Structure 1
Amino acid sequence: MKAVGIVLAGGKRNALGALTMQRNVAAIPIGGSYRAIDFALSNLSNSGIKKVAVVCQHNTRSLTDHITSSKWWGFGRKKTGLFLFTPHMISAETFSYRGTADAIYQNIDFLKKSNEPYVVITACEQVTKMDYNKVIKYHIEKGADITVVCKEMGSFDVRDYGVVELDEESRLINLEEKPLEPQHTTVSLGTYVIGRELLIHLLEELESEARYNIVSDILIRYRRKLKIYGYMFTGYWKTVKDIEAFYNINMDFLNAEVRTLLFKTSPHIYTKAKDEPPAKFNDHSNISNSIISGGDIINGMVEESVIFRKVFVGENAVIKNSIIMEGCTIGRGAVLENVILDKQVYVSDGQRLIGTPNDILVYPKRSII
């Protein structure tokens, strides 16, 4: 299918606290070797969409470093590629985006210089494997102006999501953003398919009226004027919206079914390669249902945990139900349970860091404990 992709990576995620203090949410580490944006980029590339814009605003340095070489996701070929747009790269009255629609409008030349008939817009923090060709095909079959990818969430608390109401033909009747008392259990996943020319027209119209948001100013405002349909997605999907969600996503990767779906079946999820030596398991190390990454040196016990690259675990140290990011050092006899350590945290010998499933302890980058 002929389409261009837009990955929205502009918004702040204050609910992630220290984890996004110095990084864009798109660059947050996931599953031992990946970043959040790897899933969106891989899904676009695997769907044959090879011209992609990443629109971001806050803490762009780590994201820029990660996606500088677009070859890892199969971009960068002739007349295609991976493009990074930030507010300071453009001529505008403000050095920030005023909303999701404004973020795309301020880079509207990307759309005007493209020839593809469709645009796939998606968020940077979705952990999923999705075939956008199926969504575009559905979009065409329905004769839709806009297609919103949706998911039935059942008993899951949907108050922090965009809750949609669809009719019997899956046409959008209503969309309520983060309702206090949801009347439905189907949510928008923040992924849309729209005609390129229609999107350009809508963005220019919104700009003339000082409107800046995709959800409120396009989907809700135009829900009766335009033919907006919902495409029901049934696969694994989670979004990195807060500390609890980040923790649970990483713990999901310890589930063999989820790990096989995301990483061991084609098409694959790709990331920027890191050349590290194999993990080293010394005498008396004990590993149980955990992810261990390249460059790790394990001397203690690791149980139900995700260990990123170049982590040193000292003798008699115990790590349970925790996420340890790149370059951390865990001292001898230290005990960590229900903990998230950001990069390059040093835990002294004999320290006890004990959280609970409902109160995960988070330590910022380069902490000394």
Structure 2
Amino acid sequence: MRAVGIILAGGNSEKMQELSYKRAIAAMPVAGSYRSIDFALSNMTNSGIQKVAVLTQYNSRSLNEHLSSSKWWDFGRKQGGLYVFTPTITVENDSWYRGTADAIAQNLDFLRQCHEPYVVIASGDGVYKLDYGRVLEYHIEKKADITVVCSNLPQGDNITRFGVVRMNPDGKITDFEEKPESAHGDMVSTGIYIIRRRLLIELLEKAQQQNRFDFVKDILVPYRTLKRMYGYRMDTYWRNISTVDAYYQTNMDFLKPAIRDYFFRQYPNVYSRIEDLPPAKYNPGAAVKNSLVSSGCIINGTVENSVLFKKVYVGNDCTIKNSIILNDVYIGDHTHIENCIVESRGTIQADSSYIEKEGIRIVVEKNERYIL
């Protein structure tokens, strides 16, 4: 494919609350065995993009470990490959990434050394499948300077956390408003863009000179009428997970057979780093209904309408309902958890009760699992 890929994975969101204290949003576990960034990486490799740069910054240790081997996404190759760029202090630069545009600008040498004429920019916090090649064909057909992939926001989602887009019948963007207090319409930017490489370098160099650091606010919005900017309508599943409610709902969506079939059984595949774990074990007395249970789990109690990530232990006479249990959680006997997200590597003591009547509760326990 005639494009190089850039994945913006360095951001943090206060709307994720405690879930972002130990990891970047792009490293959030999704659908039992995946990370959020797996979807963008899989889309890149499935689209034939052979060279991808991932820009990390905030709480990047977990994400960097996940990306330590590029073979899982078929980027282990002599030409191209997967590059992970973190902020680097140099003689000319003494700051961290100050925004999405600045993150790319601090790595302009990577773009200058590329030969591909186009750049595909994607965020690491989206859950979706998309052939970027089709978007590039649309971009070329429209003779666009910049193409923004757009999607209709599901009813009930908070539109004020997205960029709201308006297009004419031909697909040309007539207005682009970033995170408005109120908006008419439900067409939003998915954070996926295609732009000519030389134009991107030119715009970033100008932004640097003017101390402008945000890709949307300081580049897309000001140039919406100065450049040929088109919107590509995405009519398949897309979700952004950067709030607690959105993260919870996205995982709950994977309990629907149609969503599981779309992501796990229909081509192309979604890839992730694989751990050598045994299959889930269901002991006598276990009862599981409409749930995702990942490898390494041991179930002794009742699990309903829930997503259990890797290496979760559920004790005797436990009840887990409408909840997400992240990796490596030990749940003691006679525990009731409902409408919660339990943080990873926690120990829930026996006879505990976490029941949320309204909204979603985040449970963070740091109890010692083994006491000598």
8 Å contact from structure 2 (residues 341, 362) kept in 1: yes
Which residue pairs with 1:167 in the alignment?
168
> Do the aligned partners of residues 38 and 154 (structure 1) sit closer, same or farther apart at CA in structure 2, a change above 3 Å counting?
closer
Q: Structure 1 residues 213-222 or 29-38, which shifts more?
A: 213-222
List 4+ stretches of structure 1 deviating above 6 A: none
Q: 2:94 maps to which residue?
A: 94
Cα RMSD, aligned residues only:
1.4
What is the Cα deviation at residue 359 of structure 1?
2.3
Indicate yes or no: 2:65 matched with 1:65.
Answer: yes
**Higher mean C-alpha displacement, 296-305 vs 10-19:** 10-19
C-alpha deviations, 1:328-354, integer Å up to 9, x for none?
111111111011111111111111110
Contact 1:342 1:366 in 2 (8 A): no
Q: Which amino acid aligns with 1:55?
A: L
1:1-369 matches, within 5 Å, as 1-88=1-88, 92-153=92-153, 155-156=155-156, 157-356=158-357, 358-364=358-364, 366-367=366-367
Q: Which runs of 5+ in 1 are unaligned?
A: none
Matched residue SS, 2:88: helix
Residue 155 to residue 330, structure 1, CA distance change in 2 (3 Å): closer
The sequence identity of aligned pairs, in percent, is 45
Distance in 2 between residues matched to 1:250 and 1:350, nearest whole Å:
27
Deviations 1:273-313 (A, max 9, x none): 01101111110100001011111111100000001111111
Aligned to 1:88, what secondary structure does the other structure show? coil
Paired with 2:76 and 2:198, the residues of 1 have a C-alpha distance of: 24
For 1:159 and 1:6, the matched residues in 2 are separated by 25
Report the CA distance between 1:37 and its aligned residue.
0.3
3-state SS of 2:161 partner: coil
Q: How many residues align?
A: 368
Shift, 1:135, TM fit = 0.3
Displacement of 1:207 after TM fit? 1.1
Q: How far apart in 2 are the matches of 1:92 and 1:14?
A: 31
TM-score (norm 1): 0.97
What do the CA deviations read for 1:69-104 (whole angstroms, capped 9, x no partner)? 000001021121111111136555333112111110
**Cα pair 2:348 2:365 within 8 Å, conserved:** no
Is residue 152–residue 186 contact of structure 2 (8 Å, CA) maintained in 1?
Answer: yes
| Structure 1: distance between partners of 2:365 and 2:146 | 41
Alpha-carbon distance change, 145 to 62 in structure 1, aligned in 2, over 3 angstroms = same
Deviation at 1:152, TM superposition (A): 2.2
> CA offset at residue 48 of structure 1?
0.4
Structure 2 regions of 5+ residues with no counterpart?
Answer: none
- Greater shift, 39-48 or 95-104, is seen at 95-104
Counterpart CA distance in 1 for 2:115 and 2:322 is 49
Alignment CA distance shift 1:338-1:33 (3 Å): same
CA distance in 1, matches of 2:19, 2:296: 22
Give how far 1:326 is off. 1.2
